[in-house]
Structure 1
Amino acid sequence: MIEGSTAKLALLIDADNAQPAIIEALLAEVVKYGTAHVKRAYGDWTGTRLQGWKGQLLAQSIQPVQQFAYTSGKNATDAAMIIDAMDLLYTGRFDGFCLVSSDSDFTRLAARLRESGLRVYGFGESKTPKPFVAACDKFIYTENLTRPLGRSAEGDAVVAAPRALPAPLMAEDALITQLQRAVEAASDEDGWALLSTVGHILTSQHPDFDSRNYGHAKLSDLIAATSVFALDRRQSDDGKSAVVHVRDLRP
């Protein structure tokens, strides 16, 4: 599976279920995983409810897909988005999909896309049902995208914490257990693990894991804040970049 900037992605937005204020931050996040060759937003554009989206569609070159609300209480937009997703899947042109919605109706779609070997990135509010979150390879809460960045004393970007946490984080916290298990799974005989591998394991086990959920912009910052791990920055094998290793400080 191709990852990164070379991955070809289809970005499908449930405009009935997402806020237009997130779009710029959303597109900036999508770039981390690949290039959106298709950008579509679904909804009933004949009404006034989606008025806030219309300026964003033009500014961000997002194609609006019209779906009339034929019956009150029935979400025809979901069906249209699912049908389009399957049509795009069968073209064989894409490496992954970005599904923007907090609606559990897309759970089976996410699972079906993954069954075909494509990566699925979900974007939704923290209220998103867990089955949809778990069906994605990675799920990003949109609250993390719009939360303002601050600056630490060292000048590094930090994220305002979405919820109160002890400082430093205590070892009995469920977060610490997740981190320790991931480090242990990725560690070598000396107990050191490559931080990028730890991050991959965490996301594989918990698709909605995100250091921004805990008020830190990077995984390395979050791990350092726990005070139960050692971090070691080393030169890569080619000597051109730095890589971070982590080790559990428990005896």
Structure 2
Amino acid sequence: MTKPQDLLAVLVDADNVAPSRIGAVLTEVARFGTASVKRVYGDWTRPNLGSWKPVASEHVIQPMQQFANTAGKNATDSALIIDAMDLLYTRRFDGFCIVSSDSDFTRLASRIREEGVTVYGFGERQTPAAFRNGCDQFTYLDVLDEPVAESPSVPPARVAAAHLRGDSKLVLGLRSSIASGSGDDGWADLAAVGSLMRKQQPDFDSRNWGYAKLSDLVRATELFVVEPRPTGGMRVRGKRKNGD
């Protein structure tokens, strides 16, 4: 019997996310489950949000109106948080996708996780660390960019091996994850290593360095050996002193 897909609630902060990003976000969300609720929050009386109308219609996202009653107060954030808690208490959802670069959602993310529900965050590179680390998994919007239909697709620039090896956070994270997940023979399951990395660094994603696959990123460091497992999948271990 096929396992049913996780049910997800997708909540978008229109004040904080460009509508051009949402198609790529929803494509990524589909990897995790079914977006049974899709809502976008903002004050739709403001002209700067007008470009959201065709996008919300195309992707069947429900616009949620929240008037900015007081200058300097973010009523949109409050409305999103209240709705998220209402949805959480229905116990229907396996995960929440919060699309924003705003640190105001840090406590919301941690509160949802306290209920054993997965939180996927999506935002810009400047998203505060508190919100990124409050999610189970955080994805930067720029790695999800969709190619323009009229132009040839240009893959993101890959970070060179020397720069990868100089990224101490990346290298130390990979080494510790491989050590934690390895058996007596020193080999670790690559998928398990990726999972351990995301638990330590929720924004970990091989695409952040221009590599579509984790195996490509790990190989590119030239510090590890990656090969197929006899039972399927991939395995990884650190290179020995002789380079093998």
Query: What is residue 211 of structure 2 aligned with on the other side?
Result: 216
- 1:126/1:79 CA distance change after superposition, 3 Å: same
Deviation at 1:234, TM superposition (A): 2.8
- C-alpha contact 1:148 1:159 (8 A) present in aligned 2: no
TM score, norm. by length of structure 2: 0.91
Q: Distance in 2 between matches of 1:34 and 1:182?
A: 26
Amino acid at match of 1:60: H
Residues 1:248 and 2:243 aligned together? no
Amino acid at match of 1:50: L
User: Which residue does 2:72 correspond to in 1?
Assistant: 73
Pairing 1:121–2:111 present: no
Structural mapping, 1:68-217, within 5 Å: 68-146=67-145, 148=147, 159-161=155-157, 165-169=159-163, 171-174=165-168, 175-217=170-212
Do the aligned partners of 1:8 and 1:94 also contact (CA within 8 Å) in 2?
Answer: yes
Query: Which SS does the other structure have where 1:12 is aligned?
Result: strand
Check the 8 A contact 1:228/1:250 in 2, yes or no. no
DSSP-derived class of the 1:39 partner: strand
Query: In the alignment, is the contact (CA less than 8 A) between 1:43 and 1:67 conserved in 2?
Result: yes
RMSD of aligned residue pairs (Cα, Å): 1.9
**SS of equivalent to 2:41:** strand
Greater mean deviation of Cα atoms: 170-179 or 98-107 = 170-179
The number of residue pairs the alignment matches comes to 234
TM-score normalised to structure 1 length: 0.88
Partner-residue secondary structure (3-state), 1:38: strand
Q: Per-residue CA shift, 1:13-39, capped at 9, x if unaligned?
A: 000110101111100100111111100
Q: Which residue of 2 aligns with 1:23?
A: 22
Q: 5+ residue gaps in structure 2?
A: none
Deviates more, 1:84-93 or 1:46-55: 46-55
CA distance in 1 between counterparts of 2:213 and 2:12 reads: 26
Q: CA deviation at 1:71?
A: 1.1
- 1:232 counterpart residue number: 227
The letter of the residue matching 2:174 is: L
**Structure 2: how far apart are the matches of 1:90 and 1:244?**
39
The CA deviation at 1:172 is 4.4
Q: How many angstroms apart in 1 are the aligned matches of 2:165 and 2:4?
A: 37
Distance between the aligned counterparts of 2:164 and 2:200, measured in 1? 22
Q: Deviations over 1:202-249 (max 9, x none)?
A: 00000001111111011011001011111111353xxxxx40001111
Offset at 1:165? 3.8
Which amino acid counterpart does residue 224 of structure 2 have in structure 1? F
Residue 147 of structure 2 contacts residue 154 of structure 2 at CA under 8 Å; is this kept in 1? Answer: no
Superimposed CA distance per residue, residues 41-84 of structure 1 (whole angstroms, 9 cap, x where no aligned partner): 00011221111111011000000000001111111000000000
- Post-superposition offset of 1:158: 8.7
Show structure 1 runs of 4+ deviating over 2 A.
Answer: 164-173
Cα distance in 1, alignment partners of residues 110 and 154 from structure 2? 33
Contact 2:207 2:213 in 1 (8 A): yes
